[in-house]
Chains A and B, each alone.
Chain A
């Protein structure tokens, strides 16, 4: 097919996509309960539109890197289209989080409009009417699936990308979307959070919260399984996996936020800022998030343990002492084991964070206040829920895809990324190996790194890339025209070495005369 017929076929699929979107929005105007066929037709045309467009976009071309025009296209280069999509997405998130009634959600009685449109699907999956979150979850999963297919076509030459994308699609559809719904169908009386076992602190920052823990404790064997699984994830499985494979096992293979970024966000990955100043900001933010989430969690546990109904039998004092010992040992271990691998500012951050956390715990222990730091954990949580949970991950995180790139949340706000990243930097076999002296400083790797890592600055010096923020998407390695970068797991020793020169120059072996 030549360029021009393929162009008109592509327009056809664009129109289909728009029809799907309009169908989806149709019930907004007519708030009575919408018909099932509209939902089906809408989701089908949306999917066919995206997948068909992608298919005809790439089918005429041989397998390989497809970045022609990325920085001249209006959508992917912050042009009019980019801004429009950004505004639309942001508006959607604001509505979803703060004005769900506009979508037809009713806190009392049956929902109407767009939310009601999803009732049939919700009934089918979990036996209950749809909420705005069910609507969101469905669209979110659909986006990952259809843009996942697009990504698969685009990267059909790369097995790493195919397997990885298959993995995020699988985890989103199976574990994040279908499983909890189906469990609701089977155990309608158990609380939702007793069966959400993809759940892991601190991404699900409410894991240790009073209601959540109770939810799980009251959820029978399923709830206990979820609790056990959650604890095992945090303290055993995650550290082991991160040690062996780096944080990518989660961030670009499993996580739902990552899944959306890698699929629907793929067209925007190049928009992340690579400036050194932004990297500085990132480090500040992520460390603040880390301290904040740790303190919030400690505060929550503190008040939980103090409540008369505390079922665990662990007293506040025992808890505080063990927490202080734990953090001190951790700090000491890193300091004495890894100090030499860290830059001055990383050491500063390490000691700073440790001192803050341990300090606050001590103050708490000796003052015996009912609330950590005198602020009720409820207030802290509310702020966190708003600041991080909603405003950041949704509105900024996804709404601003077309303006700031696809991983804003993962880079600046995600507490999970912060913790896994910390481990990746300190104790992991993962690194991106630089292939000797082959780098030509072209800049493709840096430009397409969604995490804003200036990959080239390492590669051109012949250094490996060991960065806490790297999610292991592997795109830098794909776009490198000289085969310079390889994501791999290997011995921890020497992975952060800095050679004086890239490989290839033997001058040192000569006796200078």
Chain B
């Protein structure tokens, strides 16, 4: 054990927790993990399953409470209000200060609000923190009808949650399709249809105008951009998230939308770093966005920074992009780059869709070389390892199709559609 000032990590989400665990594997330095939300790391992505009764909140915690003690990682449930980079101290809400050796911001995101009239009313919320979930649970008996605003991943999760508990859900999406900013037309259409099939009142091309309240300040309904009034007892605001850094705006930390970091996840201040949702890359990795608010990148930043803080300075270098989600009953996985509106001279796309089932496979490849660029898969599980290798090794789409069974990850006995898919591809591209 050594007595040097600790590594202080603010935020015990996937980014902060991964860093703490990996740093502990490599070093004996004191580690302090601070979070205001909950004393223990839990999976934010699983909050929906708690509301739906698939899990209890305890299930969302990957480590039993003795884990932290055993690994000598000190936990503290407190809000951090700021820091002094000269004295190397952080300030706690209770007024205490703590000295740090290295300081890492892993403070995550916050739901967006766009100044809608009525957005501060009771029974209006975004879904991000555990406290939001507790709030929703408390309001639940009052909710018969709900309106959800914003057609992204958290929006559809919230729709599924409320629907599972028998609430009538109206889902407002500004674009002409669900998750239009990410998904090409047919992919999004498949989901639109599935959402409707589940009995969700999906309203496309519709924006929120204002939220109406009763005399006690409870949400009573919304008015849409089309002038319709929809009665509801709950409004879920799920139009994206932004880095949770308002409390750092007055510090000397360089921030844009997020905390600006270089490829080593260093901020402009010595011994101060940022990882996860709240970090913004000054020079994004080629082909990637500067802020990637997903689970996996948070984890990888944690892994990378642990290297830098404990043995070797290491640059953040994520491999080919991957992500996954589940939309009611449809599983979705994506690897590499598949644009929602590809530029014809840069990216060619081709998709195959099952005539009845919710299965769709979209391949993105270079128009000239046919080098595989990415894949969207709905209803077929894809083997990460194989896709990862293909994307790193200039595989052509033809080779990929030829070897497609090796790249699937569905349970045994699941039907294999490769012959149909390959035949359809050849039919279209063989001349």
Contact = CB atoms under 8 A, between A and B. Distances in A.
Interface of A: 3, 62-65, 67-73, 157-160, 163, 275-276, 433, 435-438, 440-444, 446-447, 456-457, 460, 474, 477-479, 481-483, 486-488, 501-507, 509-510, 512-513
Given A64-B328, A503-B388, A160 B413 contact: yes
A62 B315 contact: no
A505 B413 contact: no
Contacts of A460: 62
Given A160-B412, A503-B319, A504-B384, 17 more contacts: A69-B164, A73-B53, A275-B64, A438-B333, A441-B14, A442-B55, A443-B59, A443-B61, A501-B300, A503-B384, A503-B388, A504-B296, A504-B300, A504-B319, A505-B303, A512-B307, A513-B315
Most chain A beta-carbon neighbours within 10 Å: one of B164, B382, B411: B411
A507 B315 contact: yes
B315 A510 contact: yes
Contacts of A477: 411
Contact of B328 (A62, A446, A501, A510): A62
28 contacts: A64-B329, A70-B53, A71-B53, A72-B53, A157-B329, A158-B414, A160-B411, A436-B385, A437-B384, A438-B384, A440-B46, A441-B14, A442-B45, A443-B46, A443-B60, A443-B62, A447-B54, A474-B411, A481-B326, A482-B326, A486-B409, A487-B412, A488-B412, A504-B300, A506-B317, A506-B318, A507-B304, A512-B312
Nearest to B62: A441
Contact of B322 (A160, A275, A438, A474): A438
A110 B295 CA distance: 68
A486 B411 contact: yes
B388 A504 contact: yes
Nearest to B61: A443
Interface in B53-92: 53-56, 59-62, 64
A73, A275, A487, A505: most-surrounded residue (chain B CB, <10 A): A505
A444 B317 contact: no
Contact of A71 (B54, B197, B295): B54
Nearest to B164: A68
A70 B414 contact: no
Contacts of B329: 62-65, 157
Given A71-B56, A435-B381, A481 B314 contact: no
B311 to A, nearest CB: 9
B331 A483 contact: yes
A444 B165 CA distance: 19
Which A-B residue pairs are the 8 nearest by beta carbons?
Answer: A436-B384, A64-B329, A483-B381, A442-B46, A69-B53, A159-B413, A481-B326, A443-B59
A435 B383 contact: yes
Interface of B: 14, 43, 45-46, 49, 52-56, 59-62, 64, 164-166, 197-198, 295-296, 299-300, 303-304, 307, 312-319, 322, 324-326, 328-329, 331, 333, 381-385, 388, 409-415
B94 to A, nearest CB: 30
A487 B411 contact: yes
Residue in B325, B383, B409 with the greatest tally of chain A CB atoms within 10 Å? B409
A158 B333 CA distance: 19
A439 B19 CA distance: 17
B267 to A, nearest CB: 18
Contact of B54 (A67, A158, A510): A67
Nearest to A2: B199
Contact of A68 (B52, B296, B313, B331): B52
Contacts of A479: 54
A158 B314 contact: no
Contacts of A160: 411-414
A63 B198 CA distance: 11
Nearest to A448: B54
Nearest to B45: A440
A440 B295 contact: yes
A504 B412 contact: no
B315 A512 contact: yes
A456 B319 CA distance: 23
Nearest to B381: A483
Contacts of B166: 3
B46 A507 contact: no
Contacts of B326: 481-482
A223 B9 CA distance: 70
A173 to B, nearest CB: 22
B414 A159 contact: yes
B406 to A, nearest CB: 12
A73 B165 CA distance: 12
Contacts of B59: 443-444, 446-447
Given A276-B64, A437-B296, A440-B45, A505 B317 contact: yes
A506 B319 contact: yes
A506 B328 CA distance: 32
Contacts of A163: 413
Contacts of B413: 159-160, 163
Contacts of B198: 62
A72 B415 CA distance: 35
A67 B317 CA distance: 38
A437 B387 CA distance: 12
A435 B409 contact: yes
B15 to A, nearest CB: 13
A158 B55 contact: no
B412 A509 contact: no
Contact of B388 (A72, A436, A513): A436
B65 to A, nearest CB: 11
Contacts of B382: 483
B307 A507 contact: yes
B322 A504 contact: yes
A437 B314 CA distance: 20
A70 B381 CA distance: 26
A67 B319 contact: no
Contacts of B64: 275-276
B68 to A, nearest CB: 14
Contacts of A438: 296, 322, 324, 333, 384
Nearest to B392: A506
Given A71-B53, A447-B55, A510-B317, A159 B384 contact: no
A99 B413 CA distance: 46
Nearest to B285: A506
A440 B14 CA distance: 9
Contacts of A69: 52-53, 164
B106 to A, nearest CB: 16
Most interface-central of B54, B304, B414 (chain A CB within 10 A) = B54
Contacts of A486: 381, 409-412
Contacts of B299: 437, 502
Contact of B331 (A441, A481, A503): A481
A49 to B, nearest CB: 24
A163 B165 CA distance: 32
A263 B14 CA distance: 37
Nearest to B52: A68
A64 B312 CA distance: 46
Contacts of B381: 435, 483, 486
Contact of B314 (A71, A435, A447, A512): A512
A241 to B, nearest CB: 15
Contacts of A510: 314-315, 317
Nearest to A486: B409
Choose among B55, B328, B333, B415 the residue with the greatest number of A CB atoms under 10 Å from its CB.
B55
A487 B413 CA distance: 11
Nearest to B263: A510
Nearest to B25: A500
Contacts of B62: 441, 443, 456-457, 460
A474 B54 CA distance: 17
B314 A507 contact: yes
Nearest to B300: A505
Nearest to A477: B411
